[in-house]
Amino acid sequence: MTARISAERDSYVSGRDQYLIVDQLPFEARPQAGASADHGNYDRSRPIFVQYLNPEIRACYGKQYRARNAEKDLADALHATRLAILCTEGSLIFPASYLFEVPILPQFLEAIETLRRGGCIHYSTHIASLDSYMEHKATEYRNDLRNPYVKHARKSVIEGLLWHPRFASSAAEDIAGDWQSALQDGGVLTSALHSLAGRWSTRDGDPEVVLGDVPARLAGQAFIGRFVRDVIPVDLQPEESTTVDFFLSRSYLESYLRDLDASILTDFAFGDLSCGVGRLGALQPQVLSARKMDTTLRYIGIFDFIHLGASWADLMWLRESPDIGIVLASTFDRTQSDLLRRAVLRARKRYSTVTVTTAGEAATRIRALAEEITAAYRYSLRSQRPAINHSTIEGEST
């Protein structure tokens, strides 16, 4: 126990000191900087939006929920959550719709009970009362044979979850606005519009007008792919359906990321699950790569511990050290890839190759890498300073 406490204290103090050193560097030399094409401003204060459970987003990547795949789906979700909790000093947030629409949610929440008790898991709605929310959503899905909101709310499931309000009225309103823009010349949906127009019957009216009226034609139904297809009088071809589905999910993600000022983890082994939201310039720093993160964990030999050996309490403790922030800032910044790899090679010389089995040992390796990254930035800072021309100075003094 004494050794564990000592390791925890040393890890925190060292991480704190490294964080202070980095913070003293000019902005262009800090790990958070880089002005990269993506992930140049990784912010650990942002919560993580748990989009990797969303049924519509998963369906875009052919990952529909099936009973026969439930065990694999749960394992993938837990893998993602182990990374997500390390990526933020805040909470993990999912929309209240998951309480009704995600079949593996009860098992998922049971598996992460420690995070629930620790106040790390929030659900979000624009309506405070879950009963009122359920009634509202039941109306949105009123014509759906699969309406998940006709059943009683899973009151036992939300025990230990915290409510995080949405300040925007709903994602549907944001999607409706994006829909109109996407149909304009050069918009995301113009190719689908032109493709549909070639098969459009004159008795169905003007295609631009009818497609522009889709938000109104939904008449309060949820703004999701299958309902949109129902109100368009022409059957969509597979490529057109894909375009529409990705657009709707991307707009949905954009709505949540902006409203909650949250990040998402994408680029998983089981699917990208970003729907292209990272291509939206302002949101690029909020789209984080799970693949890059797993690569860094493998670099320093703690991948197996993080995903197989660590308890949720271990992960909650590890994320509290500033060291992990320094490491992940470099991990997610594309301009720092070479620097990160060189720092890894130097860090490896500082610890043995013994398999990591404790959080203290994992913290030691994270700390070693954070120190090497910091040293690299300090060296970079010195190398960027202009050389002093001593002869000129002496001449001026005379």
**Does 153 have pLDDT greater than 60?**
no
User: In the prediction, which pLDDT does 259 show?
Assistant: 95
Residues 6+ away with beta carbon under 8 Å from 8: 317, 359, 360, 363
Out of 148-157, 224-233, 368-377, pick the least confident: 148-157
CA distances from 7 to 192, 242, 352, 363, 395 (A): 58, 51, 16, 8, 55
CA distances from 95 to 88, 101, 275 (A): 18, 10, 17
pLDDT digits (tens, 9 = 90+) for 218-237: 999 999 999 999 999 999 99
User: In the prediction, which pLDDT does 390 show?
Assistant: 52
**Does 15 have pLDDT greater than 90?**
no
pLDDT digits (tens, 9 = 90+) for 248-304: 999 999 999 999 999 999 999 999 999 999 988 889 999 999 999 999 999 999 999
User: In the prediction, which pLDDT does 75 show?
Assistant: 98
**Which of 143, 137, 140 has the alpha carbon at shortest distance from 220?**
140
Average pLDDT over residues 324-335: 95
Left if phi > 0, otherwise alpha if psi is -120 to 50, otherwise beta: which for 220? left
pTM attached to this predicted model? 0.85
User: In the prediction, which pLDDT does 353 show?
Assistant: 80
**Does 388 have pLDDT greater than 90?**
no
Sequence spans of domains, the chain:
2-30+305-381, 37-299
**Does 39 have pLDDT greater than 70?**
no
- Contact call for residues 49 and 260 (beta carbons, < 8 A): yes
Residues 6+ away with beta carbon under 8 Å from 365: 300, 301, 302, 347, 351, 356
User: In the prediction, which pLDDT does 11 show?
Assistant: 44
Give the integer Cα–Cα distance in Å for 15 and 310. Answer: 20
User: In the prediction, which pLDDT does 33 show?
Assistant: 34
Give the integer Cα–Cα distance in Å for 7 and 360. Answer: 5
Tell me the one-letter amino acid at 362: A
Segments in the chain forming alpha helices (H): 2-23, 55-60, 70-86, 98-101, 105-111, 113-117, 130-140, 171-182, 190-197, 207-212, 214-217, 225-230, 238-260, 290-299, 303-304, 312-318, 322-332, 337-348, 359-384, 390-397
Distance of CA 322 to the CA centre of its chain: 20
pLDDT averaged over the chain? 86
**Does 182 have pLDDT greater than 80?**
yes
At 6, the pLDDT band (50, 70, 90 cuts) reads very low
- Contact call for residues 134 and 75 (beta carbons, < 8 A): no
pLDDT digits (tens, 9 = 90+) for 75-134: 999 999 999 999 999 999 999 999 999 999 999 999 999 999 999 999 999 888 888 999
Out of 60-69, 115-124, 129-138, 382-391, pick the least confident: 382-391
**Which of 44, 19, 20 has the alpha carbon at shortest distance from 328?**
44
The SS3 call for residue 121 is strand
